[in-house]
Structure 1
Amino acid sequence: MQLVQGISAEDFKKALSIGRPPNIAKLFPNSNALIVSGKVIDQAMIKKGNAIAIAASVRNGFVIKGAMKAAQRANAAILIEIAKSEGGRDAYCAVNFWNMALLVDQICNEEGITVPVAIHADHYGIKKDKDIDQAKTEIVSMFDAGVTSIAIDASHLPDAENLLASIALNQYVPDWAGYETEVGEIKGKQGLSTVDEALFLIRGLNAHGIFPNWIALNNGTTHGIEASSAGIQVGLTGRIHEALEPYKVSGAQHGTSGNSFDKLREIAQKTRTTKANVATALQMVSWGLTVNEYGNAQLDENGNFIKLQDHGIEDDVWSEMVSFAQEKGWRGGDFKKLNRPFENRLLSQPKAIRERMIKDVEDFVYGLITDVFNGGDTAGLAIETILKAGSYDPGPKAERIEDPAEWTTEKIREKGALINSDKGPEGDFED
């Protein structure tokens, strides 16, 4: 077991004893995996300054192992996550909300990985009243299975209903857990979030004693492999983060694929972002497809993905996947739907093939951590956060500064009706 740089064996043992949340301690009583609250990861990035933690969306187990090995190599705290569309009850991946912690714990113990890692349920979407009722039991089940951080995403709803849904579901999220909220559905250059929308959401949550670690915005980016013609709007992001400064909420950057490394470095240096999701690029890298600096898989003259020799999955397996996709009429971003039907086929490949898939992901994530997001050497800072708090819960960063009497259900709806904003076009923008 390789200890975190700058942390003694005694301090690591203490962090392991006090730093794992109750659900993790119960699930994995004899584990050496330091699975922590998302709060710990956020505070480590703040402590380093201008640092962003990778939140690796793990559409297959090769991505989990590659990302975790990269974090250990970079001495970096990390989040392992999956979104509701990827790993919920109707998902297209075999990795899901309920087995993610189990897989991470197993990999950490097998590989001797000791860096702190949070298990994040990303984009837990709320689009209608039925979703709220379902969430009341489903969120609890996810934390029972080892989730330590969650993004409740009701951004598909009008502003007032987004806030009210977030308030209603907060009681099902443990106080110690990392928490992300969202304003403005991720739609590229349309329906960009505004300062007024973000302030409305965060002020209303604050009045109800809810203090998010992160807020995700529609700041010009998009999910999936399609690059936006505009990309991340760094200036807009910075202005919104500055307006939210009294509430001590960090930024979460979604849709990093499709943005250059220089743009992502700018986000790290010029905004209060401490979490960045990386999903589609990691899937493509694990399969051995050609990916450019923007995290987008490259296409040949016929519009087909380009498979690299001696990288990723076996060539004959890739041919099977392509044929399967053609039979289904899937192209481009639809290839994500191959994850679940081909999970066992990928796991059955020769060891050398499986190991090169993992190594390709490791190298890609390591470069992002160290060269783009300034996230290296944050593992020790996360452990120091635990030791200083003497607990798995470092507590909220903010305090209540809003008057609850001004944020009743009736007044929330009145205030929400006054917000003038463009939510962009209707449609499915999930990935």
Structure 2
Amino acid sequence: MTATGSDFTKALEIGRPPNVTKLFPNSKALLVSGKVIDRAMSAKGHALALAANGRNQFVIRGVLMAAQRANAAVIIEIAKSEGGRSSYCAVNYWNMARQVDALCNELGITVPVAIHADHYGIKNDKDLADAKVEVPTMFEAGITSIAIDASHLPDDKNLLANLAINPCIPKWAGLETEVGEIKGKEGLSTVPEALFLIRGLNAHDIFPDWIALNNGTTHGIEASDTGIQVQLTADIHKALEKYRISGAQHGTSGNSSERLREIAAKTATTKANVATALQMISWGLEVNDYGNAQLDADGNFIKVKGEGVTEEMWAEMVAYADSKGWKKGDYKSLNLPFENKLLAQPLAVRERMARRVEDFVYKMITEVFNSQNTAPLAIEAILKAGSYDPGPKASRIEDPAEWTESKIVERAVGLTGDKGPAGNFDD
């Protein structure tokens, strides 16, 4: 079965959320709720949807081509640090859906694609007040799924922030929540912390599709081989089983393919974020099996001749980074000042940038994430629901009277998890 034909036509008619149909009334792109993608992965079993951070247009193009080639449902996302109001990418919360829709129509993409606002961080009361204004504008711009990340806050404030912002999120939208700030082996998430967050949300009729954990990984260039703690992830997912929530795996760059296969096989994870690796690959840098950029003997990135950007463009990018005093982890900030320069390269160069991403992503989808041929399953979820909204997976089993604001604060006192070091851990 392929994601074409009468089923695709019907899914296009009923499966696009209202904001998408309003923005793109004549589109043939099947932009869907994140819920649909999660349901497709669950239906296949032990499958991870590749959630690609579209830091530049070449990444988005390459991922869409790979997804079509693999017949896989996929997610295109951008995080607040990457594409919020203070960002380091030209792709942002407000233009990402437009870019994806345009590329889907240009390339003839027929697989379902969710548009995800990743890591929408809420760190304080001002962030929460801003979110109540900003989040609706993101959905007006075509977002179909969101990750509310208040994991920087204490457990009670994390839960309360999730409760406070939820009325701004459409019920049909994919929803991700997070416990434990992503910061490597420090401040690992615990079963009690995860249960506290999900039980509190459940009591208020909020049923997230995904939960993200600090399960030992990091964002960006991974210097440690500690990586994802598979057993910790499995233990937390097992404890949350009756709440029917899937896992979202962050920070995949720097983790071996074998470890990512373990996450697919042994946990309830259905979403895996890939960001830094795709950026580096599009530029033409040498990466290892799992997307970590390689360094030469002098500690510099290795540019593969004839791949990605031109050698002259790469020299200009390195010189710019040097002029700013940027370290290797800061190279992500090259995205914004160089987007237009990269788009102004010859067609052959632009095509090889996207093709390099396509080849890497196709291999991830088919050999690591096991999400090939999930596009028909996503379409099936739409047709079964008869709607763009497949509805929640869970129902309320917690007593709201036990999860009032005062009782949330009281309950949180008993949580003693180590939150790890303070600092800015945004991607």
**Taking structure 2 as the reference length, what is the TM-score of the superposition?**
0.99
Q: Which residue of 1 aligns with 2:382?
A: 386
Identity of matched residues, %: 70
Residue 429 (structure 1) aligned with residue 425 (structure 2): yes
Structure 2 residue corresponding to 1:377, chosen from 361, 373, 380? 373
- Number of paired residues? 427
Q: For residues 57 and 395 of structure 2, what CA distance do their matches in structure 1 show? A: 39
Q: Which residue of 2 aligns with 1:242?
A: 238
Query: Once the 2 structures are TM-superposed, how far is the Cα of residue 229 of structure 1 from its aligned partner?
Result: 3.5
Letter in 2 for 1:296: N
Are the counterparts in 2 of residues 75 and 379 from structure 1 also a CA contact under 8 Å?
A: yes
Q: Which residue of 2 aligns with 1:272?
A: 268
Query: Once the 2 structures are TM-superposed, how far is the Cα of residue 7 of structure 1 from its aligned partner?
Result: 4.6
Q: For residues 354 and 203 of structure 2, what CA distance do their matches in structure 1 show? A: 45
Matches within 5 A, 1:192-271: 192-271=188-267
Q: Which residue of 1 aligns with 2:409?
A: 413
Residue 88 (structure 1) aligned with residue 51 (structure 2): no
Letter in 1 for 2:343: L
Letter in 1 for 2:271: K
Letter in 1 for 2:110: T
Residue 300 (structure 1) aligned with residue 308 (structure 2): no
Q: Which residue of 2 aligns with 1:350?
A: 346
Query: Once the 2 structures are TM-superposed, how far is the Cα of residue 310 of structure 1 from its aligned partner?
Result: 1.1
Residue 152 (structure 1) aligned with residue 124 (structure 2): no
Letter in 2 for 1:408: T
Give runs of ≥4 in structure 1 deviating > 6 Å.
none
Are the counterparts in 2 of residues 222 and 228 from structure 1 also a CA contact under 8 Å?
A: no
Q: For residues 185 and 6 of structure 2, what CA distance do their matches in structure 1 show? A: 50
Gapped regions of structure 2 (runs ≥ 5): none
Q: CA 1:8 to 1:332, structure 2 compared with 1: closer, same or farther past 3 Å? A: closer
Task: Please give the secondary structure, in 1, of the residue aligned with 2:38.
Answer: helix
Residue 340 (structure 1) aligned with residue 336 (structure 2): yes
Letter in 2 for 1:56: A
Q: Which residue of 2 aligns with 1:79?
A: 75
Q: For residues 383 and 219 of structure 1, what CA distance do their matches in structure 2 show? A: 32
Q: For residues 289 and 255 of structure 2, what CA distance do their matches in structure 1 show? A: 8
Task: Please give the secondary structure, in 2, of the residue aligned with 1:80.
Answer: strand
Letter in 2 for 1:374: N
Structure 1 residue corresponding to 2:158, chosen from 155, 162, 172? 162
Task: Please give the secondary structure, in 1, of the residue aligned with 2:336.
Answer: coil
Letter in 1 for 2:356: D
Structure 2 residue corresponding to 1:102, chosen from 86, 98, 103? 98
Query: Once the 2 structures are TM-superposed, how far is the Cα of residue 8 of structure 1 from its aligned partner?
Result: 5.2
Q: Which residue of 2 aligns with 1:51?
A: 47
Q: Which residue of 2 aligns with 1:363?
A: 359
Are the counterparts in 1 of residues 3 and 375 from structure 2 also a CA contact under 8 Å?
A: no
Q: Which residue of 2 aligns with 1:136?
A: 132
Are the counterparts in 2 of residues 227 and 257 from structure 1 also a CA contact under 8 Å?
A: no
Q: Which residue of 1 aligns with 2:37?
A: 41
RMSD of aligned C-alpha atoms? Answer: 0.7
Q: For residues 307 and 192 of structure 2, what CA distance do their matches in structure 1 show? A: 47
Q: For residues 153 and 135 of structure 1, what CA distance do their matches in structure 2 show? A: 11
Letter in 2 for 1:126: I
Q: For residues 380 and 243 of structure 1, what CA distance do their matches in structure 2 show? A: 31
Q: For residues 182 and 41 of structure 2, what CA distance do their matches in structure 1 show? A: 24
Are the counterparts in 2 of residues 241 and 271 from structure 1 also a CA contact under 8 Å?
A: yes
| 1:355-381 residue CA offsets vs partner (Å, 9 max, x unmatched) | 000000000000000000100000000
Q: For residues 2 and 375 of structure 2, what CA distance do their matches in structure 1 show? A: 9
Q: CA 1:373 to 1:406, structure 2 compared with 1: closer, same or farther past 3 Å? A: same
Q: For residues 23 and 4 of structure 2, what CA distance do their matches in structure 1 show? A: 26
Residue 323 (structure 1) aligned with residue 319 (structure 2): yes
Are the counterparts in 1 of residues 56 and 91 from structure 2 also a CA contact under 8 Å?
A: yes
Q: For residues 193 and 7 of structure 1, what CA distance do their matches in structure 2 show? A: 38
| 1:110-129 residue CA offsets vs partner (Å, 9 max, x unmatched) | 00001000000000000010
Q: For residues 214 and 268 of structure 1, what CA distance do their matches in structure 2 show? A: 14
Q: For residues 399 and 167 of structure 1, what CA distance do their matches in structure 2 show? A: 16
Letter in 2 for 1:400: R
Task: Please give the secondary structure, in 2, of the residue aligned with 1:139.
Answer: helix
Query: Once the 2 structures are TM-superposed, how far is the Cα of residue 228 of structure 1 from its aligned partner?
Result: 2.8
Query: Once the 2 structures are TM-superposed, how far is the Cα of residue 227 of structure 1 from its aligned partner?
Result: 3.1
Task: Please give the secondary structure, in 1, of the residue aligned with 2:211.
Answer: strand
Are the counterparts in 2 of residues 149 and 178 from structure 1 also a CA contact under 8 Å?
A: yes
Letter in 1 for 2:223: A
Mean Cα deviation higher: 288-297 or 33-42: 288-297
Q: For residues 426 and 220 of structure 2, what CA distance do their matches in structure 1 show? A: 8
Query: Once the 2 structures are TM-superposed, how far is the Cα of residue 6 of structure 1 from its aligned partner?
Result: 3.2
Q: For residues 231 and 13 of structure 1, what CA distance do their matches in structure 2 show? A: 42
